[in-house]
């Protein structure tokens, strides 16, 4: 399966979806004008990945900032990871945030209350 790698811009995060290297990550800012078109290939990639996933999947969310439209899509992605976990995959979400960033910490907590996947909250 081909890896999906997207470099960060000032309005979209770096994306790594690499089954071979077993690396799954978002890092940076997300405030694109059209969230659907940016995230659609990622959601599709995850659908294909779910058909033949690795034994375990550790998904890193290392956002510095995201707008409300992105927060909805992030939930959609988390729901896909929840399905993955429910199908028997050992799925973990790593939610990274700057220690002093209360709102990013709270966002992670809120998602972890909505989605039934183990969350590791990691401050730096």
Partner 1 sequence: MSSLEKTDIRVGTNYMHFVYKFHEAMVQQKLSLVYEGEVNQSITKIFAAMTENKMEESEDDLTTKKRVYHVMVECLQNICKHADELETGEPEIPGSGIIMVGRDQNLYTITTGNVVSNDKIDAISAVLSKVNSLEKDELKKFYKEKLRENKISDKGGAGLGFIDIVKKTGNPVEFHFEKLNDLTSFFVLKSSVNRGR
Q: Which stretch binds partner 1 (CB under 8 A): 17-25, 49-57, 60-68, 87-95?
A: 60-68
Residues in contact with partner 1, counted by CB under 8 A, come to a total of: 25
Among 6, 101, 112, 119, binds partner 1 (CB under 8 A): 101
Q: How, if at all, do strands 23-30 and 14-18 pair?
A: antiparallel
- Decide if 63 contacts 30 (C-beta within 8 A): yes
Buried b (16+ CB within 10 A) or exposed e, 29-39: bbebeebeebb
Which of 7, 21, 34, 51: binder of partner 1 (CB under 8 A)? 34
> Which residue of 36, 44, 56, 123 would you call a contact of partner 1, by CB under 8 A?
36
Examine residue 78 and tell whether it contacts partner 1 (CB under 8 A).
no
DSSP string across 39-63 = HHHHHHHHHHHHHS--SEEEEEEEE
Contact residues for partner 1, defined by CB under 8 A:
10-11, 31-36, 65, 67-69, 71-73, 75, 98, 100-104, 110, 113-114
């Amino acid at each position: 399966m081909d890896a999906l790698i997207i470099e960060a811009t000032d309005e979209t995060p770096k994306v790594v979806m690499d089954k071979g290297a077993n690396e799954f990550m978002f890092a940076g800012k997300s405030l694109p004008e059209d969230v659907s078109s940016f995230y659609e290939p990622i959601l599709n990639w995850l659908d294909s990945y779910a058909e033949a996933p690795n034994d375990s999947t550790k998904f890193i969310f290392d956002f510095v900032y995201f707008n409300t439209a992105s927060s909805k899509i992030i939930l959609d992605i988390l729901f896909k990871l929840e399905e993955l976990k429910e199908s028997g995959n050992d799925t973990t979400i790593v939610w990274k945030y700057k220690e002093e960033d209360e709102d990013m910490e709270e966002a992670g907590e809120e998602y972890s209350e909505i989605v039934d996947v183990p969350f590791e909250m990691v401050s730096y």
